[in-house]
Amino acid sequence: MTSDVRRAEASSRRDFLRKGTAAAITLPAALSVVGACSESKAAAPPKAAAAPAAPPTPRQRADAMDAMHEKGVKSFPARTTGQGNQLLTPRLEKGVKVYDLTAEEVQWEVEPGRKVKAWAYNGQVPGPQIRVREGDRVRVNLTNKLPESTAIHFHGLELPNDQDGVPFITQPPIKPEESYTYDFTVPNAGSHMYHSHHNAAVQVGLGLLGAFIVEPRRAVAAQRADVDYVMVLNDGSHGYTLNGKGFPATEPIVCTQGQTVRVRFMNEGMMIHPMHLHGMHMTVIAKDGWDQPAPWKCDTLNIAPGERWDVLVKATNPGTWAFHCHILPHAESEHGMFGMVTALVVKPAVV
Amino acid sequence: MTSDVRRAEASSRRDFLRKGTAAAITLPAALSVVGACSESKAAAPPKAAAAPAAPPTPRQRADAMDAMHEKGVKSFPARTTGQGNQLLTPRLEKGVKVYDLTAEEVQWEVEPGRKVKAWAYNGQVPGPQIRVREGDRVRVNLTNKLPESTAIHFHGLELPNDQDGVPFITQPPIKPEESYTYDFTVPNAGSHMYHSHHNAAVQVGLGLLGAFIVEPRRAVAAQRADVDYVMVLNDGSHGYTLNGKGFPATEPIVCTQGQTVRVRFMNEGMMIHPMHLHGMHMTVIAKDGWDQPAPWKCDTLNIAPGERWDVLVKATNPGTWAFHCHILPHAESEHGMFGMVTALVVKPAVV
Amino acid sequence: MTSDVRRAEASSRRDFLRKGTAAAITLPAALSVVGACSESKAAAPPKAAAAPAAPPTPRQRADAMDAMHEKGVKSFPARTTGQGNQLLTPRLEKGVKVYDLTAEEVQWEVEPGRKVKAWAYNGQVPGPQIRVREGDRVRVNLTNKLPESTAIHFHGLELPNDQDGVPFITQPPIKPEESYTYDFTVPNAGSHMYHSHHNAAVQVGLGLLGAFIVEPRRAVAAQRADVDYVMVLNDGSHGYTLNGKGFPATEPIVCTQGQTVRVRFMNEGMMIHPMHLHGMHMTVIAKDGWDQPAPWKCDTLNIAPGERWDVLVKATNPGTWAFHCHILPHAESEHGMFGMVTALVVKPAVV
């Protein structure tokens, strides 16, 4: 997919999800197609009680809880400032794709109104998505505006040792206010990552991470997809996030019935996250960028820190489908769904 | 396996394990066949010490610890009130299999004498086992007797969106004292689950979960088994449990040498549980209800929250074999084995 | 590989890594070949500040942090007292390979200067490596010098029930100051383990564990390797360790470009550890000693408690490559790398 295609896709997604809404954020339109709930009025918070001293009835307590849950769902996808994982278009210099990254401290809005300290590449969490092709010549210029030294490890790329990004083993640390250039030919295809490898438990936790996607030299027919979606999982100091946001600020994945969606899961956190898709199964095609010898099916895929798993979903089943970590405390509290929850929205095919 | 077959199996199991014992609970009879320990007398708690002030010797301390361990093992399988995962026979209404579930608060005895608050379907933890065939028409009536709203998600079934059980996305929450009906044709075979998808970190942790087994339209020869056992793992507010009970109240799996045992692992908890079988390996045949493209062998299988794994064990090795989570603090303390421990009992074939 | 071959290998490793250094511990020589850092002077701790009261500048703070990181890396592999996982040569008695093990309390140096209480077999953590062949007759004599009873479970071996090592199920506990003999014919090949199965959460955590490698009756061509390395992961009371040591006291794996390295991962801890190799991928060939039906590739392999995974690495890429758990808090702190970190050193092939 070219960057233009992807931008168009993103834009159509947003249009689809917010169609005709400005002040009032509504449920994804797909819901009305496939059987939306009809109790939004009943779920309002309890009205003024009959007598001031009467404790709430179980039903009133249930209504109050449900109202919080409904509010979260109905605000999805909620607007926040900042979007991570945006495709970064390189400069071309004599056939070399040049990417400029600046690591710096920013405020990052994880959910509406919750802003956290982040260390980000180009102000994004995850950092901008780098997408190249096997065999490309690539240069990555990193400018360090952080108060600490840093370095970039290209996780999954089989680079020459001096490009591996491990301070004191393969390079000196990149000091505050200094710059450093990585320069290499992209050796192997797949879903990879780039992230700090210096004081990394802190630096990656704060946001110094991004997707590094390498398309194969020749397209592989079995991997053809209409939508190609990167999902970075994290659980550091920003809480439980998908692509840097917590529900309801996470981004839905939108497709049309009959399409094939490729999801590239990447875990940049410290915990496993078994991601569960409702309504359809996933076919696992690659691990850490390497084809699985025989694709296999599941609906819950356990993704450990540092792992990448690529799956295909054949979008046969129209509707809005919950897609979340199945460690339930990463996805739901008594106040409603939060954290590692998004949705796969399958629009009915137009006949 | 029909429900009658399974009831007979369960009854024969209990007979086998408790043969001729009423007040005195003894070791499984299989042990005497294969080399039981001969030190039960030596392992008694230390007798009155020589002088009141003398501290216990290391040997006395060891004996005291061992006595606790022995007591736990010798009481296995310990009687408790309540059994989860019992096969639920449906009512047949015009070709539809109708299941009535009531969600309500009960006291649940996890181990002898340890009763906990549970939210249960039909008073069982796990809820009653639903076992149908691919293509069956099914109706599930849920009556909510809980103080909170709830909803059922059929985890793994590829249902129409309006049957998916996610409040405010696919249906309204089911309020206290209200009922709701799910109605669908069973779309895909395999080892699936049903559980709450509302305030689920709490509700599933308290017990609102059960197995939903779908037998394939045509039996698959490679999956033929003499014993078909569902093992639901949990680690919520009830502690570490297998089918709602902690050792020594867990249920042994009993078979005869030469038989094939199918175990359907299901993780309804918040943690991974690598289940380790002693004495024989497991052949992994399915993930989340989908056949693995090539079965593979192991003796320790890591099961993450939301996952189901089906394995076959060829019971070649007679004896009583420990079968437990290999995260040791989930299975043993200084007071002996507890939690996620059971046994596979392979009775010698009669020649 | 015979024990002589392995001893020679170990000796050449040490020579290689410490070539010509006695007092001054330097970076592995391989580094100078592949692009070593040139800033070791700049990374010294900040000198006396200009004025006593001036707070350190960001650069000074970064330099101070980097100096700690550098110190750790430069001291790798750091000398400590005691080495675990040493090959144990059996006595031969009438065709039986006899291994004598003594379980006792020792002080164990995990990293330079950090000594912990350990319960060890023959004074080693992990215990001595037992390496036999399928079909061998083996006798293991265990003498218990601990203040508690104990027993050995041969994890992964499909032994007769009375050799399975589970107190009160298959044998009596082995009391303090007593001995016990296990006696069996080795039934199945693969990467297995032996460890305590009594009060095991404590006893294994303290070090009562070791590798039990069974070579197949006939060598399997697809598993041929030039270096055969056992890596035992642990996270108990000794902290995060690889073969009983934390970085920088961990042992590098050394090979020559073009060679094949087999790594046998074994998790004796309580947590998952997704092990990530830089610079090259791993081909997964076996799980718990059983061949995978089709080998598959990855660079990050999630290893759960009780699991063993065998991988092959084709050492194509010269250099010193970080090899670590990708749960970053198991591998790096603000003071530098620690715990579950080692390196794969690929020496350039001599032409």
How buried is residue B116: exposed, middle or buried, by Cβ count under 10 Å (0-12/13-18/19+)? middle
CB contact under 8 A, B274 and C167: no
Partners of chain A (3+ Cβ pairs below 8 A): B, C
Q: In B, which residues are within 8 Å of A38 by CB distance?
A: 172
DSSP string across C287-331? ETTEEEEEEEEESEEEE-TT-EEEEEEE--S-EEEEEEESSGGGT
**Please, are residues C282 and C298 in contact by the beta-carbon 8 Å criterion?**
yes
* Nearest residue on chain B to C147, alpha-carbon basis: B58
> If pLDDT is split at 50, 70 and 90, which confidence band does B263 have?
very high
- pLDDT higher than threshold 70 for residue A24: no
* Nearest residue on chain A to B271, alpha-carbon basis: A327
Q: In B, which residues are within 8 Å of C290 by CB distance?
A: 281, 296-298
- pTM higher than the cut 0.90: no
Q: How many of the other CB atoms lie within 10 Å of CB of A55?
A: 7
pLDDT for the residue C51: 56
Q: In A, which residues are within 8 Å of B198 by CB distance?
A: 69
Helices (H), ranges, C52-114: 58-74
Q: C-alpha distances in angstroms, A156 versus A190, A193, B174, C147?
A: 8, 7, 47, 48
pLDDT for the residue C341: 98
How buried is residue A181: exposed, middle or buried, by Cβ count under 10 Å (0-12/13-18/19+)? exposed
- pLDDT higher than threshold 60 for residue A27: no
Q: In C, which residues are within 8 Å of B294 by CB distance?
A: 293-294
CB contact under 8 A, A302 and B272: yes
pLDDT for the residue B351: 66
pLDDT for the residue A51: 56
CB contact under 8 A, C278 and A176: no
- B162, B270, B290: residue with CB nearest A281: B290
Q: How far is C231 from chain A (nearest CA, A)?
A: 19
CATH of A221-347, one of 2.60.40.60, 3.40.190.80, 2.60.40.420, 3.40.640.10: 2.60.40.420
How buried is residue C152: exposed, middle or buried, by Cβ count under 10 Å (0-12/13-18/19+)? buried
Q: How many of the other CB atoms lie within 10 Å of CB of A217?
A: 12
Q: How many of the other CB atoms lie within 10 Å of CB of A8?
A: 12
- Residue B77, preceding bond cis, omega within 30 degrees? yes
CB contact under 8 A, A43 and B172: yes
Strand-pairing partners, residue C300, are C276
pLDDT for the residue A95: 96
CB contact under 8 A, B287 and A297: yes
pLDDT for the residue C7: 41
CB contact under 8 A, B61 and C304: no
Q: How far is A275 from chain B (nearest CA, A)?
A: 9
Q: How many CB pairs under 8 A join B and C?
A: 152
Q: C-alpha distances in angstroms, A157 versus A175, B135, C348?
A: 24, 46, 20
pLDDT for the residue C22: 30
**pLDDT, mean of residues B168-192:** 98
What type of residue is A12? S
- Residue B46, preceding bond cis, omega within 30 degrees? no
- pLDDT higher than threshold 60 for residue A227: yes
pLDDT for the residue A201: 96
pLDDT tens column, A335-348: 999 999 999 999 99
pLDDT tens column, B45-56: 444 445 567 889
**pLDDT, mean of residues A106-119:** 98
pLDDT tens column, C319-344: 999 999 999 999 999 999 999 999 99
pLDDT for the residue A54: 85
Question: What is the rounded distance in angstroms from the CA atom of residue A14 to the CA atom of residue A36?
Answer: 20
- pLDDT higher than threshold 80 for residue A35: no
Q: In C, which residues are within 8 Å of B343 by CB distance?
A: 169
> If pLDDT is split at 50, 70 and 90, which confidence band does A222 have?
confident
Q: How far is A52 from chain C (nearest CA, A)?
A: 51
Question: What is the rounded distance in angstroms from the CA atom of residue A336 to the CA atom of residue A71?
Answer: 8
Below-50 pLDDT ranges, chain C: 1-49
pLDDT for the residue B264: 98
> If pLDDT is split at 50, 70 and 90, which confidence band does A47 have?
very low
How buried is residue A91: exposed, middle or buried, by Cβ count under 10 Å (0-12/13-18/19+)? exposed
Helices (H), ranges, chain B: 3-18, 29-34, 58-74, 200-206
**pLDDT, mean of residues A215-230:** 94
**pLDDT, mean of residues A270-284:** 98
- pLDDT higher than threshold 50 for residue A282: yes
pLDDT for the residue A8: 39
pLDDT for the residue B54: 85
- Domain map of chain A by residue range? 91-215, 221-347
pLDDT tens column, B111-152: 999 999 999 999 999 999 999 999 999 999 999 999 999 999
Question: What is the rounded distance in angstroms from the CA atom of residue C245 to the CA atom of residue C115?
Answer: 11
Where b means 16+ CB within 10 Å and e means fewer, C165-199 reads bbbbbbbbbbbbebebebebebebbbbbbbbbbbb
Supply A207's token pair.
Answer: 């946001």
Q: In B, which residues are within 8 Å of A272 by CB distance?
A: 272, 304
- pLDDT higher than threshold 80 for residue B2: no
Q: In C, which residues are within 8 Å of A202 by CB distance?
A: 334
The CATH superfamily assigned to C1-46+61-66+219-351 is: Cupredoxins -  blue copper proteins (2.60.40.420)
**Please, are residues B83 and B123 in contact by the beta-carbon 8 Å criterion?**
no
CATH of B91-215, one of 2.60.40.420, 1.10.3720.10, 3.40.190.10, 1.10.340.30: 2.60.40.420
Task: Tell me which architecture the domain covering B1-47+55-79+219-351 has in CATH.
Answer: Sandwich (2.60)
Q: How far is C211 from chain B (nearest CA, A)?
A: 16
> If pLDDT is split at 50, 70 and 90, which confidence band does B221 have?
confident
Q: How far is A270 from chain C (nearest CA, A)?
A: 5
How buried is residue A351: exposed, middle or buried, by Cβ count under 10 Å (0-12/13-18/19+)? exposed
